[in-house]
């Protein structure tokens, strides 16, 4: 693969070549290798950092106008404290911040698409590995999603998954928040997160530090970004780490991203179904104590029941 001297980007050979005894004939383009991506670690880290920034700051775009409508005055000396309290106490404010994850996911996908395809010049599906790797097909991936969900649930329970979490408080704040989180967890989160973590980040890292090093870094980043929403429940955090490890190992072993997306989708789908039916089930456990929110809790929420 050659390199453009001006831009530094890899050049995908799509030219025409001649064969002996004939004029010319088009050469079949060499398929893209997801482990040899046309982007570097710098671009992948930039997309990741911007996506985290969107998660933190985009909720303010929805929250601040609503808080002004409800009478909060930015000129007051304790405005920041009042806004923080308002963000975690008003049901509509919580819902607006949860809903802001939809444009966050859309903008993150747009950034991934621009990086991966170089603005449409490279196949998105080929570059990320949107295909089945031999024997690991659809039904085996679905089965792995179910197995991983129950294994993660067992690990979480074993390490004390009964403690209330920040995300649990958001889910219980209103029916609208519950349904929005469940829908996003199925229809956007598995795709966007896999594109970012097992897609662009893993592919760029494994070229520099190998599969083992890339797996460790992706495991750490994926788990770390979910700590705020599951704090202080170490059982659930450990379960999230297990999910990340399993998905990254699948990506490393198969060289493809599609199985990871399906496994992640099944994992989130099971959790979302439980979320939606939970309010209608008999309650046998005592009401759990509330968690003391840490700063802008909803701002730091990264949607993944994942």
163-180 pLDDT per residue, tens:
777 778 888 889 999 999
Q: What is the CA radius of gyration of the chain?
A: 22
pLDDT score, position 283: 62
**Tokens 């039916």 appear where?**
277
Average pLDDT, the chain: 83
Q: Residue 290 and residue 21: Cα distance in Å, rounded?
A: 79
Digit-by-digit pLDDT tens for the chain (306 residues) are 444 443 344 444 443 444 455 444 454 566 788 999 999 999 999 999 999 999 999 999 999 999 999 999 898 889 999 999 999 889 999 999 999 999 999 999 999 999 999 999 999 999 999 999 888 899 999 999 999 999 999 988 888 767 777 778 888 889 999 999 999 999 999 999 999 999 999 999 999 999 999 999 999 999 988 887 787 788 888 999 999 999 999 999 999 999 999 999 999 999 999 999 988 877 655 444 443 333 333 333 333 333
Q: What ranges do the domains of the chain cover? A: 39-122+133-280
Q: Residue 173 and residue 301: Cα distance in Å, rounded?
A: 14
pTM listed for this prediction: 0.82
SS3 assignment for the chain:
CEECCCCCCEECCCCEECCCCCCCEECCCCCCCCCCCCCCHHHHHHHHHHHHHHHHHHHHHHHHHHHHHCCCCCCCCCHHHHHHHHHHHCHHHHHHHHHCHHHHHHHHHHHHHHHHHCCCCCCHHHHHCCCCCCCCCHHHHHHHHHHHHHHHHHHHHHCCCCCCCHHHHHHCCCHHHHHHHHHHHHHCHHHHHHHHHHHHHHHHHHHHHHHHHHHHHHHHHHHHCCHHHHCCCHHHHHHHHHHHHHHHHHHHHHCCCHHHHHHHHHHHHHHHHHHHHHHHCCCCCCCCCCCCCCCCCCCCCCCCCC
Half-sphere exposure of 56 (CA within 13 A, CB side): 10
């Amino acid at each position: 693969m050659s390199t453009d001297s001006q831009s530094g980007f890899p050049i995908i050979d799509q030219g025409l070549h001649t064969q002996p005894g004939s004029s010319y004939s088009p050469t079949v383009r060499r398929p893209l290798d997801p482990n040899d991506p046309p982007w570097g670690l710098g671009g992948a880290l930039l997309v990741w950092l911007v996506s985290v920034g969107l998660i933190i700051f985009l909720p303010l775009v929805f929250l601040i106008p609503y808080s002004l409508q409800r009478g909060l005055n930015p000129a007051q000396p304790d405005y920041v404290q009042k806004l923080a309290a308002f963000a975690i106490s008003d049901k509509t404010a919580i819902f607006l911040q949860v809903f802001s994850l939809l444009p966050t996911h859309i903008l993150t996908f747009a950034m991934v698409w621009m990086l991966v395809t170089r603005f449409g010049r490279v196949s998105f599906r080929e570059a990320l590995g949107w295909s089945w790797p031999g024997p690991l097909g659809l039904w085996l991936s679905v089965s792995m999603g179910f197995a991983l969900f129950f294994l993660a649930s067992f690990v979480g329970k074993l390490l004390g998954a009964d403690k209330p979490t920040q995300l649990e408080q958001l889910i219980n704040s209103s029916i609208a928040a519950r349904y929005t989180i469940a829908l996003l967890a199925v229809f956007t989160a598995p795709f966007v997160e896999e594109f970012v973590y097992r897609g662009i980040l893993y592919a760029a890292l494994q070229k520099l530090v190998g599969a083992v090093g890339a797996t460790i870094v992706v495991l750490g980043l994926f788990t770390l970004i979910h700590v705020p929403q599951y704090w202080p429940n170490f059982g659930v955090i450990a379960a999230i780490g297990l999910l990340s490890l399993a998905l990254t190992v699948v990506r490393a072993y198969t060289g493809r991203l599609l199985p990871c997306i399906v496994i992640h989708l099944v994992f989130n789908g099971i959790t979302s179904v439980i979320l939606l039916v939970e309010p209608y089930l008999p309650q046998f456990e005592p009401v759990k104590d509330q968690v003391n929110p840490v700063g802008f809790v909803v701002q730091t929420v990264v949607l993944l029941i994942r």
